[in-house]
Amino acid sequence: MSGLVWNVRGLNKSTKHSIVRRWIQNQGFQFGALLETRVREGKAGRVAASVCRDWSVITNFEFNRLGRIWVMWSPRTRLTLFFKSGQMITVTVKLEDKDDRPWICLGDYNEILEGEEHSQYKNSPNITSGMRDFQNLVLDCHLEEMAYHGPLFTWCNRRDTSLISKKLDRVLKNTRWDLSFPHSYNVFEAGGCSDHLQCRLHLEAGRAEGNNPFKFVNTVAELDDFLPMVQSFWENTQPIFSSTSSMFCFTKKLKALKPLIRSLAKNRMGNLSRKTKEVYETLCEKQNANASHLKGWRRRRKLTGVGISFRSLRKTSLNSDPRFTGSRLGMAEGFFSEFLQHIPTDYEGILTADLQNLIQYRCSEEEGNNLIKIVTDEDVRSVLFSMPSNKSLGPDGYNMEFYKATWSIVGKEFTIAVKSFF
């Protein structure tokens, strides 16, 4: 659900009609307002039909001959007029599946609220009477500005010299609005045919819909199509050579392989998560059926014993133990705090020779050579295959079973990636 508000600075030209019409169609708005249309009343019906087809429109031509405000809404929305004047139109908007009545005030206020909303404020930091009146209005009505994206300034005079920019357009809301639309926000963006920015109002925050994290299932490696699929993918990708980016290139290839493994698992094994859940529910039902044959007195005796143990545990809590009263806890806390954080005044640090005297262990010549020797391909392979199976997945979703099953395909580049680390 979303709405719009835009000071279009004239809506008589057909080029502006198409710009506004495409914006409404592309964004899927349900209601909104156009300001400063400068359209005469006799042309209003034709212009409205061109801009927002099949929509209803309320104007204030009876107060201004150029209809400064047009309020529009789609057939899916119900709108009720409360008040009209030459400066504002107050309405209630009932959206689909929404029965409450929060309140927002949106549009071009022709006044800034704070000094920083004027591009020349640093040169002349003055608080005008209009700003004070606007601030008093916001305080008296308990309004606050809605969160927004986009530039701070929403209007500029478009001059090459003496450029001035201000934040004249905004969306204000009351506290009831936050209860009904806690994730609402508005976006200011350039429209190209006015000196004011367009404003899109979003009532619900967009929800990111992504795939679940990738998890390699060992059963996939047992499928007949698994190894041929990995073989085909690996042969059609760029081979990896020893370099500083070998590890990065190898992880990118594994990431590109994930969608193929997902597709294979889905086509051959179906919804494994749903099937696992169904089997688990069946197991629970059978266990509950077996448990119903237990003797009642045995269940009561077991529950009574549990209750006694919980009561005895509560009686021996730290709060009721006289050894742990508040004063003793404070003394213990102070003692250990001083003990752990105390630095002697005569402390002068420690030398390397002193540390060597403290640590008596020394590496033998053979052990030292092993630490600096070159890692071979066989070393990498032996370490990998010595790792236990059925362990937790890595951060990328792969486990040891994947590398063991595909070693004949990925083993060469896996070894290059590992050796590049050293």
Confidence of residue 380 (pLDDT cuts 50, 70, 90): very high
Helix (H, G, I), strand (E, B) or coil at 179: helix
- pLDDT (mean) for 395-421: 92
- What percent of the chain has pLDDT above 70? 86
pLDDT at 47 over 80: yes
Mean pLDDT, range 317-334, rounded to an integer: 61
Residue 330 pLDDT level (bands cut at 50, 70, 90): confident
pLDDT of residue 294: 55
Q: Out of 3.40.50.1100, 1.20.810.10, 3.60.10.10, 2.40.50.460, which CATH number does the structure's domain 2-202 have?
A: 3.60.10.10
Q: How far is CA 137 from CA 46, 89, 146, 308, 410, in A?
A: 37, 17, 16, 64, 69
Residue ranges per domain, the chain?
2-202, 211-273+352-422
**Could you read off the pLDDT of 141-187 as tens digits, one per residue?**
889 999 998 899 999 988 888 889 999 999 999 888 888 888 889 99
Does the pLDDT of residue 304 top 50, yes or no? no
Structure tokens, 256: 């590109």
Q: If you average pLDDT over residues 77-92, what whole number do you get?
A: 89
Query: pTM for the complete prediction?
Result: 0.44
One-letter amino acid of 230: V
159 to each of 155, 162, 164, how far by Cα in Å? 12, 7, 8
The stretch 317-331 carries a mean pLDDT of 57
Structure tokens at 126: 């003055």
Contacts of 94 (CB under 8 A, 6+ apart): 77, 78, 79, 80
* 39-53, 230-244, 359-373: least confident range: 359-373
How large is the average pLDDT for residues 31-41? 90
Supply the pLDDT for residue 96.
64
97 has a pLDDT exceeding 70: no
Angle between the 407-421 and 246-269 helix axes, to the nearest 10 degrees? 150
Residue 354 in this model has a pLDDT that exceeds 90: no
Query: Which residues have a Cβ under 8 Å from the Cβ of 358 and sit 6 or more positions away?
Result: none
Mean pLDDT of the chain: 83
Position 295 pLDDT exceeds 60: no
Cα–Cα distance for residue pair 27/30, rounded to 1 Å: 9
**pLDDT above 50: residue 244:** yes
**Of the ranges 176-190, 243-257, 288-302, 315-329, which one carries the lowest mean pLDDT score?**
315-329
Q: Which amino acid is at 105?
A: C
Residue 313, pLDDT score: 43
Instruction: DSSP letter for 258, please.
Output: H
What phi, psi does 266 have (nearest 5°)? -70, -40
